[in-house]
A and B are shown apart, each in its own frame.
Chain A
Amino acid sequence: MSRPNFGIPKGLLVTLKNIIRHPVTVQYPDERLVISRRARGTDIIWNKNTCIACRACERACPTKAISIDVSRGEDKKLKVDRFQIDFGTCIACGLCVESCPVEDALYMSYSYERAVYRREDLISSDDELLPGEGKQPSGYAHPEVEKTLTLQTLLLDKDREDSQ
């Protein structure tokens, strides 16, 4: 440790080198990155036609965000009267989607914008859980959906392999 190392000029050169690199930040509302194909988005999408009212998702939920009212219809089949999710307590862990025994009944959504003005607006039930504008099912626990979505943008893609 007796050789001078001129660490400060070296550091200055490193920052100078970085000024030439393209910025990595993204101008969010104008420019949007493609999120993961398995994104666990801020919504849950429920298909009421295929749901068998087994309440597995309700039991799997760690925060008790899902509440389901089930009754037996005239044909002795279980049917869902009310399927309600409180997204204020939902932690988007995806355990409900994983636990669902039906192939295409429950999906995590492929969206990430869910700002509302009131807490009550975060409680969605029945028809509000159907897919809609800006609310598409994601490929989480659904490989067949995953294949149809576009590839996620990676920050790594901006690096050239020979750049270093």
Chain B
Amino acid sequence: MNVKTEPLAINMGPLHPSTHGVFRMLAVLDGEVIVDLEPVFGYLHRGIEKLAEEKTYKQVIPLTDRLDYVSSMSNNLVYVLAVEKLAGIEVPERAQHIRVIMAELQRIASHLMAIGTWANDLGTFFTPFMYMFREREKIIDLFEMVSGQRLLYNYLRFGGLSHDLPDEFLPAVRKLLKVMPGYLNEYEELLKENEIVLARSMGIGVLPEELAINASASGPVLRGSGVKWDIRKVDPYSLYQHFDFDIPTGITGDSYDRYRVRLEEIRQSLHIIDQATQDLPAGEVKSKVPLNLRPPRGEAYSHIEAPRGELGCYVVSDGSTNPYRFHIRAPSLINLTCLKDMVMGLKIADAIVTFGSIDICMAEVDR
């Protein structure tokens, strides 16, 4: 029997529960199989790069918070590093250590959220999501303690930090380090061996090593494909060379491997925080920086290993108080470009899982 079928074009998004923001996927389906997919983005464009050009260097720091609001601390860090490179500002060692602690706490918080939302995309009824948010909340509490806000921290400054750590911070972090591994094991038990999770995510959304490198993917997406590439090791910044940690990598580059890489990275981050808190030097947290910073003419590029991948910041100075050009290399955007190659020929449900496993933040994609 000959059944006449036609492809069905469905428009997922921009308002769709699992597009993690305002992302639109124009998927053409043959039954349930994706035959074509066109990612459309730009719905959250706020022109941050242009906005930055009319603000002073210091005023850009709160703007960078709003790039990837799930990991504001990393965004602050990359911008601050770029300007410090541009203006040649030295950072005290204590501040460097605290920056590392903050960046790693941020990585844990971001990865927890990534795993939680990914589990939600798999179809669990919010349970792992809530557990992950419970743990994330503990970290957010710490950020609130040091910076005064829970999401947009605005904590780092040129030449250090805005404030020193409060006295109650270190005991709280130590307690977090003690409590966290138990919870992590528990959540691993919940998802790692679940047959449905395995069947849904193993071999789904495979990103081959070659394509990952060619597409310039970074972060857990690249490492999930088995490439041992981590800016913290390759081009260390903020004293990362002093800390001992591993780079977890996946094997096949499927959604499951990306999830495993994230989970392992949380463990490594805990390890780094442990080291950083143990030999936290005393002293100043901020070096002397002119109130109205005028970096010399020139340009600087800094890159860090943000939770979502290689986050780069390019700042050009014309000697005035405002950056002449401010550009962000957003890992979310670059990882997202692999989406079509990853989901071709899969089912519509797999596309959601794959998309969730890339872990993007639309605010960073569209900027």
Indicate if the CB atoms of A7 and B198 lie closer than 8 Å: yes
Once A7-B194, A24-B134, A99-B291 are accepted as A-B contacts, the answer to whether A94 and B148 lie under 8 Å apart by CB is yes
**Minimum C-beta distance from B315 to chain A (A):** 16
Q: Roughly how many angstroms separate A11 CA and B191 CA in the complex, as a whole number?
A: 7
Find chain B residues with CB under 8 A from A61 CB.
Answer: 59
Q: Roughly how many angstroms separate A50 CA and B139 CA in the complex, as a whole number?
A: 37
**Minimum C-beta distance from B53 to chain A (A):** 13
Find chain B residues with CB under 8 A from A18 CB.
Answer: 131
**Minimum C-beta distance from B259 to chain A (A):** 14
Indicate if the CB atoms of A161 and B162 lie closer than 8 Å: no
Find chain A residues with CB under 8 A from B183 CB.
Answer: 164
Q: Mark A142-164, 1 if CB is under 8 A from B, else 0.
A: 00001000011011100101011
Once A14-B189, A15-B127, A38-B147 are accepted as A-B contacts, the answer to whether A154 and B172 lie under 8 Å apart by CB is yes
Closest to A161 in B: B178
**Minimum C-beta distance from A156 to chain B (A):** 5
Q: Roughly how many angstroms separate A108 CA and B197 CA in the complex, as a whole number?
A: 47
Indicate if the CB atoms of B138 and A17 lie closer than 8 Å: no
Q: Mark A57-72, 1 if CB is under 8 A from B, else 0.
A: 0001110000000000
Q: Roughly how many angstroms separate A46 CA and B236 CA in the complex, as a whole number?
A: 43
B63 at the interface (CB under 8 A from A): yes
Find chain A residues with CB under 8 A from B193 CB.
Answer: 5-7, 10-11
Indicate if the CB atoms of A24 and B137 lie closer than 8 Å: yes
B175 at the interface (CB under 8 A from A): yes
**Minimum C-beta distance from B65 to chain A (A):** 8
Determine the interface band of chain A, counting residues with CB < 8 A from chain B: 35 or more
Once A154-B172, A155-B137, A161-B175 are accepted as A-B contacts, the answer to whether A92 and B186 lie under 8 Å apart by CB is no
Per a CB cutoff under 8 Å, which of A6, A39, A92 touches B144?
A39
A40 at the interface (CB under 8 A from B): yes
Find chain A residues with CB under 8 A from B198 CB.
Answer: 7
Once A14-B190, A62-B63, A93-B154 are accepted as A-B contacts, the answer to whether A7 and B148 lie under 8 Å apart by CB is no
B149 at the interface (CB under 8 A from A): yes
A35 at the interface (CB under 8 A from B): yes
Per a CB cutoff under 8 Å, which of A8, A17, A36, A138 touches B195?
A8
B192 at the interface (CB under 8 A from A): yes
Indicate if the CB atoms of A154 and B62 lie closer than 8 Å: no
Q: Which of A110-162 contact B (CB under 8 A)?
A: 138, 140-141, 146, 151-152, 154-156, 159, 161
Per a CB cutoff under 8 Å, which of A17, A62, A138, A156 touches B172?
A156
Q: Roughly how many angstroms separate A99 CA and B186 CA in the complex, as a whole number?
A: 46
A104 at the interface (CB under 8 A from B): no
Find chain A residues with CB under 8 A from B182 CB.
Answer: 163-164
Q: Roughly how many angstroms separate A11 CA and B176 CA in the complex, as a whole number?
A: 24
Q: Roughly how many angstroms separate A146 CA and B185 CA in the complex, as a whole number?
A: 37
Q: Which of B141-162 contact A (CB under 8 A)?
A: 141-142, 144-149, 152, 154, 162
Once A15-B127, A39-B148 are accepted as A-B contacts, the answer to whether A8 and B194 lie under 8 Å apart by CB is yes
Indicate if the CB atoms of B145 and A36 lie closer than 8 Å: yes
Q: Roughly how many angstroms separate A40 CA and B185 CA in the complex, as a whole number?
A: 35
Q: Roughly how many angstroms separate A40 CA and B63 CA in the complex, as a whole number?
A: 16
B283 at the interface (CB under 8 A from A): no
B45 at the interface (CB under 8 A from A): no
Indicate if the CB atoms of B55 and A159 lie closer than 8 Å: no
Find chain B residues with CB under 8 A from A37 CB.
Answer: 145, 166
A51 at the interface (CB under 8 A from B): no
Query: Which residues of B come within 8 Å of A, CB atoms?
Result: 55, 58-63, 127, 131, 134, 137-138, 141-142, 144-149, 152, 154, 162-163, 166, 168, 172, 175-176, 178-179, 181-183, 185-187, 189-198, 291
Query: Which residues of A come within 8 Å of B, CB atoms?
Result: 5-8, 10-11, 14-15, 17-18, 24, 35-40, 60-62, 91-95, 98-99, 108, 138, 140-141, 146, 151-152, 154-156, 159, 161, 163-164
For the complex of A and B, list the 8 residue pairs with the smallest distance between their C-beta atoms, beginning with the closest: A164-B182, A7-B193, A62-B59, A93-B62, A38-B148, A40-B148, A7-B194, A36-B144
A-B contact pairs, 26 of them (CB 8 A): A7-B193, A7-B195, A10-B193, A10-B194, A11-B190, A14-B186, A14-B187, A35-B144, A36-B144, A36-B148, A38-B145, A38-B148, A39-B144, A39-B149, A62-B55, A62-B63, A94-B154, A146-B166, A154-B138, A154-B141, A154-B145, A154-B172, A156-B138, A156-B172, A164-B179, A164-B183
